[in-house]
Structure 1
Amino acid sequence: MTEINNPLSCILLDDNHDRRSLLSRSIAEIGFNVKVTLKQYDELLINIENHPCDFLIVGVDIPSQELLCSLKFIHTHNPKPVIMFAEKDTPNIIKKTIDAGVNAYIVDDLQPKRLSSIINIALARFQTHQHLVQELNETKNKLEQRKILDKAKGILMQQKNITEQDAYALIRKMAMDKGEKLEKVAQNIIDVFTMLG
């Protein structure tokens, strides 16, 4: 059985008719699928929800605060690569677009022949960023779990007058006996002694 590779799909948002038409044609020509074409920024959030896509392309003269707020919401709750073609820029605008999760901000340079490269670079940047976010979250979780375990060990050391090694062994044994994770047993110990104290 032959595997069929579906082309990546996008939502295209642009209130300028000529630029929107050029983008739409160019995206199709390089083999991507335009799922939805939008003219109004206020339609963006509902369409992202109703029409899952692989990336978002936005054409704009200059990004409005409302648009950036919508992109920030998407970046936080339903992250995906965002490529923005704009007519103007300032250092302040570029900072705001990056903060809103835009992966490529192209100013006054809409060349269809470069579109494929721009999209691929934005997709790669997005993947790298998501990987870093995932690693950061995992590190934060490990640190949080370590703090919980250390606190529980401290409580047992004080309450039972035992060494740190013995406190750890006791938590480990309790976890094995109950079939639970060390962090859960440690949190239970903290909760119990917090209520008693």
Structure 2
Amino acid sequence: MKQRSSSRTPQALRDIRSMNVVAIHPQDQDGDELLAQLRRIGCKVQMVWPAQDSLPEATDIVFLAVRPETLCTTLPWLDARGAPPVIPVVAYENPIIIEAVMQLGAYCVVPSPVRSFGLLTAIAVTLNQHRNRQTMERYVRRVEEKLAEQRQIQRAKTILMETRSLSERDAYELLRSQAMTKREPIESIADAIIKAHEVLGFR
């Protein structure tokens, strides 16, 4: 059987070893083991307890102990744009814990008691999925922006068609020629026409 190429593995491991990790976890046996294993991997780790309203700058990934103390705590950074992915550390499986894990948007969990096995895999999977999600979100934003621009152009064409008795093709050509003359994007010309129409009340 032909083996699959592992050329990406060294770079992935280097990425993990250079990460800044925040572990929101009490300094108990699990916390000590988590800290030791993360340092053994090569991560730069900062232990935090209790959970804070903000994270240190340049945090790449967060380990979060899912306990009663964190379940009843609001974490504003979770909803911030560009928030780092979270790996929950869970000691129990019950509906409340499962719901909390789902709300965190976690891709995998680390069970308690913490062990060395599975920790590196959890980090690698979480980072890969998080990057895939970021790529998809950027694509969706670009599509939404493009659709918004097309709607603006269409609205500007409609205004020109109504105010200058132009065909749709001629209205678009007028927009395009103005964009070329002024050396501006056609979307900017469309936006200017729409604003002028709204301010001056052309009919």
1:100 CA drift (Å) = 3.5
Structure-2 residue corresponding to 1:133 = 137
1:15 CA drift (Å) = 2.0
Percent of aligned pairs sharing the same letter: 22
1:103 CA drift (Å) = 3.4
Do residues 195 (structure 1) and 199 (structure 2) align? yes
Q: Hey, which of these two has a bigger chunk of helix by percent?
A: 1
Partners of 1:16 and 1:59 within 8 A in 2: no
Which of these residues, 45, 52, 57, is aligned with residue 58 of structure 2?
Answer: 52
Question: Runs in 1 of length 4+ with deviation above 4 angstroms?
Answer: none
Do residues 64 (structure 1) and 68 (structure 2) align? no
Distance 2:44 2:182 in 1: 52
Structure-1 residue corresponding to 2:101 = 97
Structure-2 residue corresponding to 1:41 = 51
Partners of 1:149 and 1:186 within 8 A in 2: yes
- Map 1:152-191 → 2, pairs under 5 A: 152-191=156-195
Residue type of the partner of 1:55? Answer: I
Structure-2 residue corresponding to 1:9 = 20
**What TM-score, normalized by structure 1, do the two folds share?**
0.84
Residue type of the partner of 2:50? Answer: Q
Instruction: Call closer, same or farther: CA 1:114–1:52 in 2, change over 3 Å.
Output: same
Partners of 1:83 and 1:103 within 8 A in 2: yes
Alignment partner of 2:63: what SS? strand
Which of these residues, 30, 34, 43, is aligned with residue 32 of structure 1?
Answer: 43
Partners of 2:90 and 2:111 within 8 A in 1: yes
Unpaired runs of at least 5, structure 1: none
Residue type of the partner of 1:60? Answer: V
**What TM-score, normalized by structure 2, do the two folds share?**
0.81
